[in-house]
Structure 1
Amino acid sequence: MENQDKKRILIINAALKRFAHYGLAKTTMTEIAKDISFSKALLYYYFPDKVSLYVRVIEYLMHSISKELTKSLEKASTSSEGIMLLLNKRQGYIQKYYNLMEYSKYSCNDMPEDLYEKFNRAKDFEIKILNVLLDRGIESGEFKLTDTKIATEIFIDCLAGIHFNILNKDKNIFPDKEQFKQIFIKEKRFAEIFIAGIKTINKS
C-alpha cells in the first residue's frame, strides 16, 4: 500500500471513531487531525471538507460491514438461521454506529448526492443478500415460495413499515435509542412470523 493510501486509511479510521462516538455535528476536522498527529492542512489535502470525509467514512464502513456479513452468513446452516442472523447483525450495526447515522435524519433533498448513493447501495446489498437466502431456502426444500423477488420486497417493506409506525406514533424524524429497542423487538417478531409462513410443512 502506498504511503498516501496509508495516510488516507488512517484519517478514515480516526474519523470513524470520532463520528461514531460524537456524531457528525459535534466532530471537528481539528480534532480528527489531532487524534493522528496530522496537521489540519494535511487533512484538508486528502479531504476538502468534513462532509466529504464523512461520505468516505460511510463508504469504508459499508464495505467492511458487507464483507463481515457475507462471511457470517456463509456459516449459517439454514436459510432461516441466515435471515435471523442478517436481522441481528443489522440491528447490532445500528446500535454500534447510532451516532454515525445522524445525517440520515435529513431529507433526501438535503443529503449530498454521494451520501444518498452510498445509502442506496447499502439497501441494494441488503435486498440481494435476502434474495440469496430465500433462493437457497427454496433449493434446499426449507421454504415454499414461487417468487423470491416479491417476498424480498414484502420483507423489506414490512421492516420499513415497523420503523415508520413507531416514529409516526411519537412524531419523531429519527429514532432515539428507546424507539430503536421497540423497532428491533417488532422486527424480530415479524421475521419469525414471516419465516414460519414460508417454511415447508413436513408431513410424517
Structure 2
Amino acid sequence: MDPHRRARVTRSVAGDSRWEVATRELPAGLQAHVRGLLGYSEATALPCLRREFPLPQVVVIIEFGPPIRVHDGDGKPSRYAGGFVAGLNDCWTETGHDGAQAGIQLNLTPIGARLLFGVALSELAGRVVHLDDLLPRAHRAWPSASPRCPTGMTVSTWSKVSSPRGSPRPASRSARSPGPAARSRPAPARSTSAASPASSATAAST
C-alpha cells in the first residue's frame, strides 16, 4: 500500500456529538477482496444505540477505544475488547456505545474473508467472533498495543495483513478456528459504517 496516497477525512458535528471517518483508495490488488476500509471515531453526549443492516460482506472491527456492545437476537449485549468479526447474515442487529468509539472497519467479500482468516464461511455465518480467535498469532496484539491509534492509521493497517503484492494472505495454521470454545455469540452481521451521518459535515485530505 502506497504510504503517500492521500486519505479523505470527513468530520461532522451535530450538537454535542461529533464523528470522524478516514478513507483511502484501495490498491488494485485488494479491490477484488475488500469492499471498504475506513478509520472512525465518534463521541456523543449520551449513550448511543443504532441498528445495523446486513450486506453481503464479512465485517472486521478493530477497536482502539472502549469496546462497543453488539446485541444478539434476544437483545442481550456482548463486548469484544480489541475487536470482532461479524459473519454473513440476513438479519439486522443493534450496536451501541456509552459515548465514545474509535477503530478501523474492514469490509471483506466472502472470498476475501476466507483467504484472510483461513476458515470456512460456514464457521462465521450468523456469528460474531472475537478478533483474537481468528487473527494469526503475530497480529493479535495490534489493538491492545495501540489503544489510541489515530484514524490516520487506516492506510497502514491493511498492509500488515496483506502480502507485498497486495493480495490477502491466508491465516497461518497457528490461527485458532472459531470452534465451540471461541468467544462468540450468534448475532447478525454488522454491516454499515461505524459512524452515522450527522447534519453537518466537512471533508479534508491528509
Using the size of structure 2 for normalisation, the TM-score is 0.30
TM-score of the superposed pair, with normalisation by structure 1: 0.30
User: Higher strand share goes to which structure?
Assistant: 2
Between structure 1 and structure 2, the one with the greater Rg is 1
Higher share in helix: 1
- Name which structure has the greater RCO, CA cutoff 8 Å, separation 6+: 2
